[in-house]
Structure 1
Amino acid sequence: MKPLQVVVAPDSFKGSLSASEVAVAVAEGVRSVAPDADVTCLPMADGGEGTLDALLTVWGTVPQRIATVDAVGRPATARWATSPDGRVGVVELAEASGLPRVSDVALQPLHASTRGTGEVAAAVLDAGVEEVLVCLGGSASTDGGAGVLAGLGVRLLDESGVPVPDGGEGLSRATSLDLSGLHPRAREVRWRLAVDVTNPLVGEHGAAQVFGPQKGANPGEVEFLDGALDRWAGLLEAETGVAVRDLAGAGAAGGVPSALVALLGAELERGATLVAEAIGLPAAVARADLVITGEGSFDSQSVRGKVADGIARIAAAAPGRPPVVVVAGQVLLPAAHVRDAGIAAAFSIAPGPVELDELIARTATRLADLAATVTSLFLASHRTT
């Protein structure tokens, strides 16, 4: 008999273990029951924070570093990477422009910018890639992606032809774009944006209204930023003919997709799907007998474009339709909803009432134990069929 083929493709358990650490623990549990199992570990991410690390782990490549600026303009260092064949460059927005980068200072909702991310993208273009994958999530700004354009050499000008300040506040003054300094390769490559939300750019469900408060915006600033983004959408449409106000996903990361879609023809895609393709997950799942994924909290959002949802879709399309099992810190979905999402079962690592600190401290051990149980159940079910 051929060895049991298991694919382990978890997301991170935020505040506890990285995706690669989760994968190691789960693989240990599988092998404790099936020592001869062929276990393929492919740490996953949904396109936001942690995606770069997941890709580096699977690709086995070394990250590059660039001196840039954080969301409030201070000197910072950010990582980026290329695929083993050098064809795909990866930019994770949180590396330069993320909230954690500016957690030591008061948030600046009107002035925070994604300029640093644009400078990282310019370095990726300099490396000669054919495709740029931008992982969006954890943004500290609401600048509509104007900062990314600035980092790529675009100037936003006011009615007097003077460059406007960085950040959402500057959008309210911008009346034209000077593209003469745009990076020469910016329009030669394919841009793919990994998003995990479908919010439009403006309005009740837009970038400012939904995500502005978590970036420090008070109600008045939220209204101001929404108006600035609306003005920005009008300017982008006037310059490019591309309408982005109501584009699903344009509100991700403070509206970054609006700029990249309008000016560079960027494509918005489910983050989990993009990552899965980049690490070769569909091919691995096609060979699998069992797929184990996981995340810290398995809830209603998990089956709406997150990692577990993406993996379930891949497994459903695979020739053998291998069962997908979720292991999680907590499971908040009824069993019927889990099955409706194309997932065979979901299990929590919590043995019962337990303090969060204790659970976090023993996450790896409990994951290994739970993975062993899942594997035992799978083997037992196949012995009786």
Structure 2
Amino acid sequence: MKIVLAPDSFKNAVTAKEAARAMRKGFEKILPSASYVEVPMADGGEGTVQALVDATNGRFLTAQVQNALDQTVSAQYGILGDGKTAVIEMAAASGIQYVDAQTQNPLITTTYGTGQLMAAALAQGVQTIVIGLGGSATNDGGAGMAQALGVRLLDVDGQVLPLGGGALARLARIDTTHMIPALSRVKVVIASDVTNPLVGPNGASAVFGPQKGATPAMVAQLDRNLTHFAAVIERDLGKSVAQILGAGAAGGLGAGLLAFTDAQVQPGVEMVVAQTGLTEIVRDADIVVTGEGGIDSQTQYGKTPIGVAKAVKQVNPQATVIAIAGYIGAGIDVLYELGIDSIFCTTPGAMSLAKAIEATEVNLTQVSENIARLIAKQH
């Protein structure tokens, strides 16, 4: 019997790798002779670098970069086991964790540090850069990222614009002559499940700006600025990014990547499935176990458990797909129609969130053992 363990992280509790190991411990207690393969997963958000490095036996590197508030911080990125692919979470440099209620200001926050991480990866000689978009504190359309990579954003006097989305109103010309040459030779994969365009009522500023501290007046200003940025991009670079689905991800960083690199947007979990080789691994599996911290009706929209289930059923429809979660919400019936065969909860009874998080690893092992007992009865 082949059992593949492909969970996401359980947020604030265990990494995807730790979750897979906890599951395996429970299964092996009852099914010691089964063949096990651990494939840590993610969906492009938090934990993507960790999952992909773990799954491919890659390595972690650290770079000194500027955070969303232009302060120097250490940020981690990964090189996958092939040695040719870098994986970056934009939040590592430009994430919401760097601001608070007093300092959040999407007029000045910047993706400059994300560009610095990309430059660090390019210096390693990689051929592909995977960038997970999520958890951003920014709304600059990827302008800071571009500036870190050598792009000059100039005003009417030929002066370089300051960082932040608030300055884009003064943009007169884009100069790419000093852009890092290696950037034109790499493939960039944008891992994101956000389908919002850059501008408009469903754009980056209107939908995500308020979460980053934008007042209604700021939202209107930022949307105007991004509209202007997109117009200059189209005039100077010949690329139309304003209404591309996904361009509004991470405060418009999606648009910036599409404008200044040879980038393609791919749903996060599909990207992780491809990078880990999960489809081939599950082709002869009997049982596939996935999961994450919470499962509910929203799981169907590109979250790891449903991404794993779809990948499995495409190549091995007879395999049983089991999902485990710390919390099970409403509307999960739809997931049974999309490839998940059964869903189990780790929490054995009423307890505080803090206690449930603390006991996640133990509870994962216990519920996995219980599932294994059922499987053993059937075999």
Same fold (TM > 0.5): yes
Corresponding residue of 1:81: 78
Task: Please tell me whether residue 174 in structure 1 is matched to residue 171 in structure 2.
Answer: yes
What is the SS of the residue equivalent to 2:302?
Answer: coil
Residue 110 of structure 2 aligns with an amino acid whose one-letter code is S
Please name the residue that 1:280 is paired with: 277
> For 1:12 and 1:5, how far apart are their aligned partners in 2?
22
Note if 1:336 corresponds to 2:303: no
Structure 1 Cα separation of the partners of residues 154 and 118 of structure 2: 22
Q: What is the distance in 1 between the residues matched to 2:332 and 2:375?
A: 18
- The DSSP-based 3-state class of the residue aligned with 2:24 is helix
Residue 287 of structure 1: how far off its partner (Å): 2.4
Q: Does residue 1:353 correspond to 2:353, yes or no?
A: no
1:21 aligns to 2:18 (yes or no): yes
Retained in 2: the 8 A contact 1:236–1:259?
A: no
* Paired positions, count: 379
Equivalent-residue separation in structure 1 for 2:360 and 2:78 (angstroms)? 29
Tell me, which stretches of 5 or more residues in structure 1 are unaligned?
Answer: none
Question: Which deviates more, 201-210 or 317-326?
Answer: 317-326
- Counterpart selection for 1:301 from 288, 298, 301: 298
- Is structure 2 residue 231 aligned with structure 1 residue 231? no
Q: CA deviation at 1:320?
A: 5.0
Matched, 1:270 2:262: no
Partner of 2:129: 132
Matched, 1:203 2:200: yes
Q: Distance in 2 between matches of 1:128 and 1:363?
A: 39
Partner of 2:43: 46
| Contact kept? 2:4, 2:38, Cα under 8 Å | yes
> In 2, Cα distance between the equivalents of 1:5 and 1:104?
49
Are 2:156 and 1:184 aligned? Answer: no
Between 154-163 and 315-324, the greater mean CA deviation after superposition = 315-324
Alpha-carbon shift at residue 104 of structure 1 (Å): 9.0
**What residue is the counterpart of 2:376 in the other structure?**
379
Judged with a 3 Å threshold, the aligned counterparts in structure 2 of structure 1 residues 12 and 298 are, in CA distance, closer, same or farther, namely same
SS in 2 for 1:172: helix
Other-structure match for 1:106: 103
Return the offset for 1:301.
2.2
Matches within 5 A, 1:116-155: 116-155=113-152
TM-score, normalising length: structure 1: 0.94
Asked if 2 retains the 8 angstrom alpha-carbon contact of 1:70 and 1:102, the reply is no
1:303 and 1:336 map into 2 onto residues whose CA distance is: 10
The SS at the match of 1:107 is coil
Cα distance between partner residues in 1 of 2:241 and 2:130: 20
Output the CA distance in 1 between the equivalents of 2:12 and 2:367.
19
Once residues 256 and 149 of structure 2 are traced to their aligned partners in structure 1, the CA distance between those partners, rounded to angstroms, is 12
- Equivalent of residue 257 in structure 1, options 254, 259, 281: 254
The amino acid of 2:166's aligned partner reads E
Give yes or no for the alignment of 1:69 onto 2:66: yes
Q: CA deviation at 1:379?
A: 3.4
Quote the Cα distance in structure 2 between the aligned partners of 1:235 and 1:63: 37
Corresponding residue to 1:11 among 1, 8, 11? 8
2:245 maps to 248
What percent identity do the matched residue pairs reach?
A: 38
* Residues 41-83 of structure 1, C-alpha deviations (whole Å, 9 max, x = no match): 1111111121111112122232111111111111111122222
- Mark the CA change 1:262 to 1:358 in structure 2 (over 3 Å): closer, same or farther: same
Contact 1:338 1:346 in 2 (8 A): no
Distance 2:125 2:240 in 1: 30
Q: Gapped runs of 5+ residues in structure 2?
A: none
Q: Deviations 1:190-219 (Å, cap 9, x if unpaired)?
A: 111000211111122211111112211122
Contact 2:296 2:332 in 1 (8 A): no
